[in-house]
Chains A and B, each alone.
Chain A
């Protein structure tokens, strides 16, 4: 607007410095997010791009990678080992998620309100979370050892079984043993998430429901549960994605046994990539697993979506 500026210089003169200030504020904002953005780019975006790039190659450990387009993906469709592993992973995810969230919710309800000794219990329930997955698995492998462990000799000593029982030798007990270990180790973490959700429900709602004549189970069903939906969704997504990526516990405790029945999807990817050194194929499997996780998370977010209520 060249001619208006000459007529009303004052009116035009004021916005100019303000605009400049805003633009510099934009750059300043970018500066602040730069460290976080750099981390995401270096440790997530670039490896993701490299994985996708690798998945389009036949990529041996030594020798030159060769471009093979989507061959890895078409091969994957017929790879019954992968689909079996994925099937087992889903089975484990269902069991672990149900166990984890169920136990976590019960623990959260137990330690939600301030009372004598509650801090001790909160700490006790959370303590297993801070042990590493590998150390917890090693501990569990030892406890489950048929000769020198705890469970089998203990069961024998108190007369539960007449002879040693190797719980890691058959699929059923082995699977449930690992699942219980994971519940023991991770329930405290989800407990904290759900507890914070429970604590953010105003006491008024529960009191109003008491006056409305709602029994304890009705208050839980109609008031508490719907109002912890958001933290519950967070716990659910963390739980499902964590379980879909399960590896350490099955590798350390069971080594995929008995009869390779406890090989998870990641375990299979690990075998393909770092045992058989088919790095390109392993990358393709990883990409597929990522896609599955993305879809799962999207579905969960949609199912548990907030329907626009405000307090």
Chain B
């Protein structure tokens, strides 16, 4: 915290708000009327499959792409048509985009240099940021002589030295190996904690989104599917897409039908999930149950039969892959006491609160 104070003169951070932002590339509309409010100091993650428009949205906020319709405000100021340098932002690119012909120190101090700041001030800020990011020994190296993780830290350092109101990260960890990715993820979380700035982070990896975010924005096909905290999205997804995208392994989706007053999967009744409205007899729906919520049923409980196929032992937990009814794939988390031999039959069920229902249109039935 105190070390960071050397880097940042005074603490100012700003929220970001988007109002009916649309983006066209030629005749293709890639973002549809995006409305979004990001509070000051929040860590927001844009997540979604590739091509969902999350990177484009970030680039609109950065000012690297022009907004076709709508308005972007940073810290209450309309920056829709402002130059990237006048938005109070700093960005970390997926490729790091470190200038290959400059040393680490020159890379980090470039923004201050072109702003005509005195050399001493630049050196001071670069040294402070390098200290925070453990780059002091590498200041004279060129990016080409650094490892992936070090380059990543230089890119973050370059952003810190600019002392921005808002940090933008565009899939910053996707070029790192798995182990380093976890390490850097923690480092970024720590950075957010100590800087307290607004951070917007784009990723396609839902684990990164879940672990880093205060608020997750799930995008698909240029539209926001749902906005909420990781727990909200996990516990209370608005639709099939969000339910399937968040959580690992994925939520099980089982086609079901209402018959004789109960929701039945393959004819087997499930516990009543307590929906607000009673579903009409014969309604078809999708039932979503997370693997960690399925458990072996007590005798007499409403349950579905599951035939074990194979199991993944991960140390702390085991995932049992099986088939429910007639050929519906289903995964459940089990403890070691459960016999996971192939062909073994289990009766499984879940607590009523852990059963999510989705209509045929993919929307949640609450």
Contact = CB atoms under 8 A, between A and B. Distances in A.
Contact of A207 (B90, B97, B142): B97
Nearest to B85: A213
Interface string A22-36: 000000000000000
A66 interface: no
A204 B115 contact: no
B101 A202 contact: no
Interface stretch (A5-13, A85-93, A111-119, A303-311): A303-311
B144 interface: yes
Nearest to B101: A226
A48 interface: no
Contacts of B62: 211
B101 A309 contact: yes
Nearest to A207: B64
A307 B63 CA distance: 33
Contacts of A234: none
Given A222-B110, A311-B144, A210 B83 contact: yes
B198 to A, nearest CB: 16
A205 B99 contact: yes
A215 B114 contact: yes
A208 B84 CA distance: 10
A167 interface: no
Interface in A175-227: 202, 204-205, 207-215, 218, 222-223, 226-227
Interface in B60-104: 62-64, 83-85, 89-91, 93, 95, 97-101
A308 B142 contact: yes
B100 A309 contact: yes
A208 B85 contact: no
How big is chain A's contact interface, by range?
20 to 34
B158 interface: yes
Interface string A136-176: 00000000000000000000000000000000000000000
Among B83, B98, B110, B115: residue with most chain A CB under 10 A: B110
Nearest to B83: A210
- Chain A, interface SS category: helix
Contacts of A211: 62-64, 84-85, 89-91, 111, 162
Interface in B148-174: 158, 162
A218 B85 CA distance: 13
A214 B114 contact: yes
A139 B215 CA distance: 71
A202 B162 CA distance: 22
A310 to B, nearest CB: 3
B93 A214 contact: no
Contacts of B95: 202, 204
A31 to B, nearest CB: 37
Nearest to A218: B114
B114 A208 contact: no
B222 interface: no
B93 A212 contact: no
A212 B162 contact: yes
B143 interface: yes
A211 B95 CA distance: 15
Interface string A249-290: 000000000000000000000000000000000000000000
Nearest to A205: B97
B97 A202 contact: yes
A229 B100 CA distance: 12
A238 to B, nearest CB: 23
Nearest to B59: A207
A42 to B, nearest CB: 41
Contacts of A212: 85, 110-111, 114, 158, 162
A211 B159 CA distance: 9
Contacts of A307: 101
A243 B143 CA distance: 38
Interface of B: 62-64, 83-85, 89-91, 93, 95, 97-101, 110-111, 114-115, 142-144, 158, 162
Given A211-B162, A226-B101, 8 more contacts: A204-B95, A207-B84, A208-B97, A208-B98, A212-B162, A213-B115, A309-B142, A309-B143
8 contacts: A202-B95, A202-B97, A204-B95, A207-B91, A211-B63, A211-B84, A211-B89, A229-B101
What are the 6 tightest A-B residue pairs by CB atom distance, in nearest-first order? A310-B144, A213-B85, A204-B97, A212-B111, A208-B97, A214-B114
Interface of A: 202, 204-205, 207-215, 218, 222-223, 226-227, 229, 307-311
